[in-house]
Structure 1
Amino acid sequence: MRIVCFGDSLTRGISYVKGRLRIIKENYPSSLAKLTESLPFVEVLNKGVFNDNSDLLVSRVQKDVMSENPDIVLIEVGGNDCNFHWEEVAKNPEGDHEPIVPIERYLENITQLVKQVQDKHVTPFLLTLPPLDPARYYRSIADRFGPSIGHFVSQVGGIEHWHGMYNRQLKKLAEDLKVPLIDVRSYIKSAGDLEHLISDDGIHLTSEGYQHMSKAIFSDLKKHLAKQTLSQP
């Protein structure tokens, strides 16, 4: 059985370490691969790309995912979709700014990804958006683009507001599409102090956070595989 982990930098395994963004070995696909060693004939592939959003996932799903002939595709995306062009916000903090991928297009993209996967008789799983730490996130953004973004954040909630909205709409879409959804967001929040699970940029996970993310995924996958086994004649 081949499992493809498809998503953005949280799938790729980016963390903020010693003042820099780095790819760490203890990412969620590699941790998931270790957990699945107890299951026979399971292979886990990492198809995460730094800074991807759902537009970009749609553009590369055939080349990067379906060409691998997967049995299961884990779709994780949304943190970059609901983010903003902060350099534009900094120049005009009192203006109107939309997320990089507006919510309507985000949901359309997810629907398209699900259908493309299902059309090949492959099982898609949607992952909720992992939690963020808004205080540390905005501190890192202000350090890069200046404190003027504070006005915009205070007026519209910035990514914190949109992050929660996109996550709620994703969960509703999963229900409407009758697609399994793995709530990594709630699992990570309940796993311990977010200061240790989310890195200093406030949005990428630490190695410990990625390990908890993989445990949540593995737990749901085991249930799915058990049901599959029981349903076979």
Structure 2
Amino acid sequence: MGRFVLIGDSLLRGIVWDDVRRRYALARTRVANALARKGHEVVADLAFMGATARDGLERLREFALRSPERLRGSWVLVHFGGNDCDFDWDAVAASPDSEHLPRRRLDAFTGDLGEIAGLARAYRAEPIFLVPPPLVAERYFAWISRGSPERADAILRWLGTVTRIHWWQERYAAAVAWVAERLEIPRVLLRGAFLLGREDFRTYVGADGIHLTESGYRLFSETVLASCAEVRGGVK
């Protein structure tokens, strides 16, 4: 059995949109629970909603200083990109003709991932990078527009096209795979699993276009477990 530390954003945490209660909640099926059910030890779940890779690096650093013996020898599951590539949509809507930068520029994002891997390995822990699944651009655009035609028009004026949301996020997913390959880090190809797992991957994605449905988290967790079982023959 393996020992795992989870470091990531709301998808690794298992955040789902609850249509009935109209708020975010924890999914019934999420990676931490799935690992535990298979008999693995979840040493720490450091994933949280809104986290960027820089946030994750700081949390992992704090955990390493506080509990080095718990980190040592663990597999560190790393999932970032969705928040790193996101923009301040209030600022975009207020000033669509201005320049706006993502929360983490792509070069900074790849640097953060490299530091996370280096920190994990310094404690003889092995990082495993999760390549983020796709989002549904049209749903996310509607979500950030908040039902306001004026706000939607302003955001679209800056975007140029709604599909830009999709390919912009895809760049960050590709960056995760690139860093993993460059640093010889095992990868979990979530993006491929979602795009190939069903004819229309959108059935796995919730109303906001980003967070997954319960079935989406089931696929997410199953893919992580299956991939980890193959990593260098190390996690059975």
TM-score (norm 1): 0.88
Residue 83 of structure 2 is matched in structure 1 by: 80
Residue 41 of structure 2 is matched in structure 1 by: 43
| 1:203 aligned to which of 178, 201, 210 | 210
Q: CA deviation at 1:221?
A: 1.1
CA distance in 2, matches of 1:24, 1:219: 20
> Given the alignment of the two structures, is residue 20 of structure 1 paired with residue 40 of structure 2, yes or no?
no
In structure 1, stretches of 5+ residues that fail to align are none
Letter in 1 for 2:41: E
Q: CA deviation at 1:228?
A: 7.5
CA distance in 2, matches of 1:228, 1:156: 40
> Given the alignment of the two structures, is residue 159 of structure 1 paired with residue 165 of structure 2, yes or no?
yes
Residue 57 of structure 1 is matched in structure 2 by: 56
Provide the secondary structure at the position in 2 that maps to 1:213. helix
Residue 182 of structure 1 is matched in structure 2 by: 188
Contact conserved, 1:11 with 1:46, CA < 8 A, in 2?
no
Q: Which runs of 4+ in 1 moved over 4 A?
A: 155-158
CA distance in 1, matches of 2:232, 2:182: 22
Letter in 1 for 2:185: V
CA distance in 1, matches of 2:165, 2:13: 21
Contact conserved, 2:135 with 2:210, CA < 8 A, in 1?
yes
Residue 171 of structure 1 is matched in structure 2 by: 177
Q: CA deviation at 1:155?
A: 5.4
| 2:226 aligned to which of 207, 214, 219 | 219
Distance 1:116 1:15, change over 3 A: same
Aligned pairs, number: 224
TM-score (norm 2): 0.87
1:97-136 correspondence to structure 2 within 5 Å: 97-136=100-139
Deviates more, 1:190-199 or 1:166-175: 190-199
Distance 1:169 1:225, change over 3 A: closer
CA displacement, residues 102-121 of structure 1 (integer Å, 9 cap, x when unaligned): 00110000000000001111
Contact conserved, 2:46 with 2:60, CA < 8 A, in 1?
no
Provide the secondary structure at the position in 2 that maps to 1:223. helix
> Given the alignment of the two structures, is residue 150 of structure 1 paired with residue 148 of structure 2, yes or no?
no
Pairwise CA RMSD:
2.1
Contact conserved, 1:4 with 1:47, CA < 8 A, in 2?
yes
Contact conserved, 2:205 with 2:212, CA < 8 A, in 1?
yes
Contact conserved, 1:84 with 1:159, CA < 8 A, in 2?
no
CA distance in 2, matches of 1:189, 1:156: 19
In structure 2, stretches of 5+ residues that fail to align are none
> Given the alignment of the two structures, is residue 69 of structure 1 paired with residue 71 of structure 2, yes or no?
yes
Q: CA deviation at 1:170?
A: 1.7
Q: CA deviation at 1:16?
A: 1.3
Distance 1:65 1:129, change over 3 A: farther
Provide the secondary structure at the position in 2 that maps to 1:48. coil
